[in-house]
Amino acid sequence: MGILLEYGNGTLAQNNKCLVNDEPNDEPEKKEVKSEEREIFTAPVKAFIPREKIRVAVVGAGGFVGQVHLPNLTSLRDDFHLRAIITAHGHKAADLAKKYRADYADTDYQKVLADPEVDFILLGTRHNLHYPMIMQALAKGKPVFTEKPLCLNREELKAVKEKMASSGFPVYVGFNRRHAPLAVSMKEKLASLPRPYLIHYRVNAGFLPLEHWTQDPAVGGGRIIGEACHFFDFFLYLVEQTVIDVRVSFLPVDGRSVVAKDNVAVLVKFADGSLASLIYTSLGHPPLPKEYVEVYAGGKCFVLNDYRFLDIYGVNGKKQQIKLKRQEKGWREELVWVADCLKGKKDSAQVMNQAFEAMEVTFKVVDLF
């Protein structure tokens, strides 16, 4: 069972026995919600790309896309052909197109929507642009991969689901942790263990000033919508059960060390009784590895440290460690999976449903602030 303790000064603590909310009288009572039955996406998916190389247009090529997705697409030339790069600044688009050998560069999204040689669109724009660009792409019959978050509110999520159902084309979300090699290894070993699971995920997210664009609700959605959605998808990936209960507590904003609602403790309960807790904080020290996961099941324990080390306790009666040469968060493996889905080699329905549910859980967490 997970414990969430909140003290009168707003401090949060966690241990392993029960759930307690000890709140000052002037604070609103912390809420819990029970999920309704999830709508499952079952729309038929059209045969997508009848060719070996998927012709992709990359839209929005900031630091992350330039450092991660473009190099990975280039390394996967058996699966992808880089048709176009679209950015707000023409000179940057041209430089990237030359570096990564794209057919052309532009600043106009409408150009790739109208281009019959574009099979697939990868979105790496600011968060508020994901929804309108997804809707336009689906209207033109083009599958989409979007970086997280999928969208910024429930109304947008509902509209994306409806557009996917009516068009038959998919939207893949950049929830890459489920594709990370050590996460895959951990899940494979969990499969033989009895349920329920107890999961703890700590994110040392780092401080961002209130002026940063991700903190703007209208542009970035805030850090819970903008990033914490990752970790709810990871929980769904491991447990593969419907969320039935969400509880939340957070550090109050004081305008000094806590400038936004980005210090939060979340407890998620699943239909099989599994519990997953998330501690997401901006208060930590930068050298501490960002992400740390513990999973307990059937007398065994798994500790995943920043997607580089996986410690395994109790399997085969001893401690084991899998160590990678460098951190691997699954970005390249994610694109390989997307290519297989677009070519009809893999079914993406379950992963898409879990992406939708991860966003639903995220919105519920924000509701409880």
Tens digit of each residue's pLDDT (9 = 90 or more) over 215-228: 999 999 999 999 99
Q: How confident is the model at residue 45 (pLDDT cuts 50, 70, 90)?
A: low
Which pLDDT tens digit goes with each residue over 62-98? 889 999 999 999 999 999 999 999 999 989 999 999 9
Q: Are 65 and 154 part of one and the same domain?
A: yes
Domain boundary among 176, 200, 226: 176
Question: Mind listing the pLDDT tens digit for each residue in 98-126?
Answer: 999 999 999 999 999 999 999 999 999 99
Distance (Å, whole) CA 291 – CA 273: 24
Mode of pairing for the β-strands spanning 80-86 and 54-59: parallel
- Tokens 């914490």 belong to residue: 228
The residue from 176, 203, 221 where one domain ends is 176
Q: What is the pLDDT of residues 277-328, one digit of tens each?
A: 999 999 999 999 999 999 999 999 999 999 999 999 999 888 999 999 999 9
Residues 358 and 212 in one domain: yes
For 146, residues 6+ apart whose C-beta sits below 8 A from its C-beta are 122, 123, 130, 133, 134, 171, 172, 173, 174
Mean pLDDT of the 2-13 span: 46
Are the C-beta atoms of 176 and 329 separated by less than 8 Å? yes
184 in the same domain as 308: yes
Highest mean pLDDT among 22-31, 236-245, 255-264: 236-245
The average pLDDT across 152-181 equals 96
| pLDDT tops 80 at residue 42 | no
348 secondary structure, DSSP code: -
The more confidently predicted of residues 63 and 16 is 63
Mean pLDDT score across all residues of the chain: 89
Q: Is residue 73 within 8 Å of 53, Cβ to Cβ?
A: no
Distance CA 105, CA 96 (A): 8
Cβ(87)–Cβ(66) below 8 Å: no
Q: Could you give the number of structural domains in the chain?
A: 2
| Mean pLDDT to the nearest integer, 230-235 | 98
Give the integer Cα–Cα distance in Å for 88 and 92: 8
What local confidence, expressed as pLDDT, does residue 4 receive? 52
Are 295 and 255 found together in one domain?
A: yes
3-state SS assignment for residue 98: helix
Q: For residue 47, is it within any domain?
A: no
Q: Do 308 and 210 lie in a common domain?
A: yes
Helix residue ranges per DSSP H, 32-147: 63-64, 70-75, 90-100, 109-114, 130-139
**Per residue in 60-76, is it b (16+ CB within 10 Å) or e — as a string?**
bbeeebbebbbebbeeb
149 and 198 both lie in a single domain? no
Confidence grade of residue 170 (pLDDT, cut at 50, 70, 90): very high
DSSP designation for 148 = S
**Cis ω before 143 (30° cut-off from 0):** no
Residues of the domain holding 266: 29-34+178-328+348-367
pLDDT at 318: 84
Answer whether residue 333 is part of any domain. Answer: no
5 within domain boundaries: no
